[in-house]
Amino acid sequence: MTDNDVIVAEGVVKTYDDSGVPVHAIRGIDYTLAKGEFTAIIGPSGSGKTTFLNVLAGLDTPTEGEVWLSGKLISDMSGKELSDFRRDHIGFIFQAYNLFPVLTAEENVEYVMLLQGIPPGERHERVMAILKKVGIAEYAGRLPMQLSGGQQQRVAVARAMVSRPSLVIADEPTANLDSKTSGALLDMMRRLNEETGVTFLFSTHDEIVMKRARKIVVLRDGKIDGKASLEDC
Amino acid sequence: MLLKLAWRNVFRQKRRTILTLLTMTGGFFLSSLSIGWMDGSYSSIIMFFTNNRTGQIQVHCKGYLQSPSIYSTVNDYQAAGVFLDSIPGVRAWAPRIYSGALLAVRPRGAGSGNVFTNSAAASVIGIDPVMEEAASGFSSQIESGEMLSSSAADTSYSATGQIILGKELSIILEASAGDSLVMLTQAADGSSADRMYVIRGIVSTGNANIDRNTCYITLSDAQILFALQGKVHEIAVMTGSLGAVDELTAKISAGLSGENLETDSWKTFAREFYNGMKADEASLKVMIFVIVLVAAMGVLNTILMMVLERRREFGVMKAIGTRPGFIVRMIVLEANIMGIISVIAGGILSTAGLLFLSEHGFAMDPPLDYGGTVFREMIASITPECYWIPAICVIITASTVSFLPALKAAHTKAAKTLRTV
Ligand SMILES: Nc1ncnc2c1ncn2[C@@H]1O[C@H](COP(=O)(O)OP(=O)(O)O)[C@@H](O)[C@H]1O
Ligand SMILES: [Mg+2]
């Protein structure tokens, strides 16, 4: 492990208990994600992408193995430390956008900074800057239901980025979007990656998304398939 | 932002929120009216009782209340009266003598021989017609005949006196105004006394138990008859309102402390009545508890549904680093926003309801019978308790009922709730 690694995972196993029946979602993964990467985790449905991302993000605990985030061992952190760590170091983008329906685009983005205790003036500035960057500054005052899926996902990207995290994790961010919108969203994310150097790790089974990734990790039956190529998916 | 979030969340599910608000507002309204009505009923019953008869405060010789005796007298009642007149808040006072006697009626036209038809034992109360009128408005209760006036009997033992009979007593004696009767009794000096009386009037105080065995003669007459010159057994003190009674009692007690006298408020000398009222207050508490419980169930249901529906949102909040305390505060705040709105709405509604009930009263059907006194209509009174008790109930209910669901929401497992499949 070097200072340059955002994520280091060793021997990660995740076994779910489905009413007594063990479900082996992750079957032993060693993985390192370096700073600045723009990596896609691909694999068929049920291959363990979501489970793997959740474990890497500290949302779920592995059954076996260790995960280090920016050099810190997740299993050493208390619930509160982990929560604060996610708040300050990880941005999340979800498949279903998951914006707060009662908050406007602007307020949704502002929310994380509120948790961080950033003063209102700075919050407003940063919100407007990031909304401009993702191209929806003019919709700042709209509620999520007044925005299209693509626009909502841009707000979600802004929410994930505004706290200046070292890592953005996105689980199938384009699954609910059409191909044109998906391409545009990925282009924008890639641009943000290049401009800010923030590391992106996202899962997908969408070819449009894969094409824009700089690195691809293939998951199959809970394991990284080292030999697989793009065409296998 | 927390407030903004909570506020907007409250109005997300408008229909359900309105239902919840109605439940809470209804709870407030019912509690408030119950309290106002209960307070009003008591005030009017107490005022009725005390104004008509007992007064709100009484002065006796020490020990008289525990064991009333013809010998336990207020010896210089005039002096006590001068003191009472000097106290602001004392509206009037009335001196009284209490004793017992045997009454035997001689109907009109029966001549002057010893022909008596009916007889009965009765309490005899000596009253000062003028002061009693000022204190209890005695004459307004006279059903037939007239009020007592000063007579020859006030100065001469051998003269014929005037007497007023309670209504039921007059029925027992089959006597009416204008009839004569003989009273046999014993004076304080031990001598037996008897005297002729003409029935001046019949009184109905509204309390049948009292009217069945009570008759009234003038105070001067009673003092001569019972050999109690210058003395009385009781001074009944009338105040303007109930609120000042405790303070006035203390004041009078302090002022008359040297005279072997004892000053009590209605809470002591009408103890049974006071205890009955306290018992009713307990039943009011039970009633409010039930109202609160019903409202609480409604609110709990809403909060639980809301927490269940928004699990995914709580998952997102947790994932992006929201601490559990924030979520707890948000949900408890949401419940309290509903609580505060209900308190305001309930306050307005209750004021309208209480104003109506304090003007128009509430017909009692069947009429309420308190120790022989019948009340047909009750009037609500608007007191601070009508507001702060329901308000506190609503806020405490909202807070407690939302706390556990809030804790549950705060510990939502992000990984689980965020799964789309
Ligand atoms: N909570 C759970 N309980 C039991 N099995 C689960 C649970 N979550 C996921 N799984 C199973 O784990 C496997 C991997 O799921 P997932 O990580 O969602 O894959 P992907 O995201 O690649 O579709 C699947 O077989 C899925 O059914
Ligand atoms: Mg998945």
Tens-digit pLDDT profile for residues B28-85: 999 999 888 888 877 777 887 788 788 899 999 988 988 888 889 998 899 889 999 9
Give the minimum alpha-carbon distance from B367 to chain A in angstroms, rounded to a whole number. 55
B240, amino acid identity: G
With bands split at pLDDT 50, 70 and 90, how would you rate the model's confidence at A127?
Answer: very high
Q: At which of B232, B266, B294 does a domain end? A: B232
Is there a single domain that holds both residue B319 and residue B407? Answer: yes
- The answer to whether residues B83 and B271 touch, using CB atoms and an 8 Å cutoff, is no
Q: How far apart are CA B163 and CA B98, in angstroms?
A: 14
**CA A175 vs CA A159, A192, A206: distances in Å:** 19, 20, 8
Is there a single domain that holds both residue B210 and residue B286? Answer: no
Give the minimum alpha-carbon distance from B413 to chain A in angstroms, rounded to a whole number. 8
Is there a single domain that holds both residue B46 and residue B87? Answer: no
The tokens describing A208, both together, are 């449009």
Q: Given this model, what pLDDT does residue B108 score?
A: 67
* Best residue among A51, A56, A63 to mutate for probing ligand 1, ranked by most atoms within 8 Å of CB: A51
* Best residue among A15, A26, A50, A59 to mutate for probing ligand 1, ranked by most atoms within 8 Å of CB: A50
Is there a single domain that holds both residue B218 and residue B336? Answer: no
Query: Which segments of B58-111 does DSSP mark as H helices, in order?
Result: 77-85
Residue A165's region, left for phi above 0, alpha for psi from -120 to 50, else beta, is beta
With bands split at pLDDT 50, 70 and 90, how would you rate the model's confidence at B157?
Answer: confident
Is there a single domain that holds both residue B36 and residue B82? Answer: no
Is there a single domain that holds both residue B76 and residue B216? Answer: yes
The H-or-E segment that residue B88 falls in is none
Q: Do the bridges between strand B161-166 and strand B373-378 make them parallel or antiparallel, or are there none, so unpaired?
A: unpaired
- Say what percent of chain A tops pLDDT 70: 96
The H-or-E segment that residue B354 falls in is helix B324-360
Q: What's the whole-number average pLDDT of chain A?
A: 92
Is there a single domain that holds both residue B279 and residue B389? Answer: yes
Q: Is residue B330 part of a domain?
A: yes
Closest in B323, B326, B419 to A50, CB measured: B419
Q: What share of chain A is helix, strand, coil (3-state, %, to 5)?
A: 40, 25, 30
With bands split at pLDDT 50, 70 and 90, how would you rate the model's confidence at B170?
Answer: very high
Q: Is residue B237 part of a domain?
A: no
Q: Is residue B263 part of a domain?
A: no
A49 alpha carbon, closest ligand: 1
ipTM of the complex: 0.93
Out of A55-59, B230-234, B267-271, least confident range: B267-271
Q: Is residue B59 part of a domain?
A: no
Is there a single domain that holds both residue B45 and residue B83? Answer: no
Q: Is residue B12 part of a domain?
A: yes
Give me the long-range contacts of B186-189 (CB less than 8 A, separation at least 24).
B187/B225, B187/B226, B187/B227, B187/B228, B188/B70, B188/B71, B188/B226, B188/B227, B188/B228, B189/B227
Residue B300 in 3-state DSSP? helix
Neighbours of ion ligand 2 (CB under 5 A): A 49-50
The verdict on a CB contact (< 8 Å) between B8 and A103 is yes
Out of A7-11, A106-110, B416-420, least confident range: B416-420
Q: Given this model, what pLDDT does residue A232 score?
A: 43
Residue B370 in 3-state DSSP? strand
A165 CA to middle of ligand 2, Å?
23
* A-B Cβ pairs (cutoff 8 Å, strict): 62
Atom of ligand 1 nearest to the CA of A52: 17
Q: Given this model, what pLDDT does residue B357 score?
A: 86
B94, amino acid identity: A
Higher-confidence position of A226 and B57: B57
Q: Given this model, what pLDDT does residue A227 score?
A: 62
Average pLDDT over residues B335-347: 95
- Is the per-residue pLDDT at A215 higher than 70? yes
E-assigned strands of chain A?
5-18, 21-34, 38-42, 64-69, 72-73, 90-93, 167-171, 199-204, 215-220, 223-224
- Is the per-residue pLDDT at B304 higher than 60? yes
With bands split at pLDDT 50, 70 and 90, how would you rate the model's confidence at B368?
Answer: low
Chain B residue with Cα closest to A53: B415
Average pLDDT over residues B137-164: 87
CA-based nearest residue to B240, from B349, B380, B92:
B92
Closest protein CA for atom 27 of ligand 1: A46
Q: At which of B181, B209, B232 does a domain end? A: B232
* Best residue among A12, A13, A15, A16 to mutate for probing ligand 1, ranked by most atoms within 8 Å of CB: A16
Residue-wise pLDDT for B72-115, tens only, equals: 999 889 988 999 999 998 999 999 999 999 999 876 665 666 66
Q: How far apart are CA B358 and CA B289, in angstroms?
A: 24
Q: Is residue B64 part of a domain?
A: no
> What residues of A are in contact with residue B415 (Cβ under 8 Å)?
54, 59-60
Q: What's the whole-number average pLDDT of chain B?
A: 88
Is there a single domain that holds both residue B117 and residue B184? Answer: yes
Is there a single domain that holds both residue B225 and residue B82? Answer: yes
Is there a single domain that holds both residue B302 and residue B412? Answer: yes
Is there a single domain that holds both residue B127 and residue B86? Answer: yes
Range of the domain at B326: 2-50+274-420
Q: Is residue B103 part of a domain?
A: yes
Q: Given this model, what pLDDT does residue B314 score?
A: 96
Pocket of ligand 1 (CB under 6 A): A 16, 18, 23, 25, 43, 45-51
Count: domains in chain B: 2
Q: Is residue B60 part of a domain?
A: no
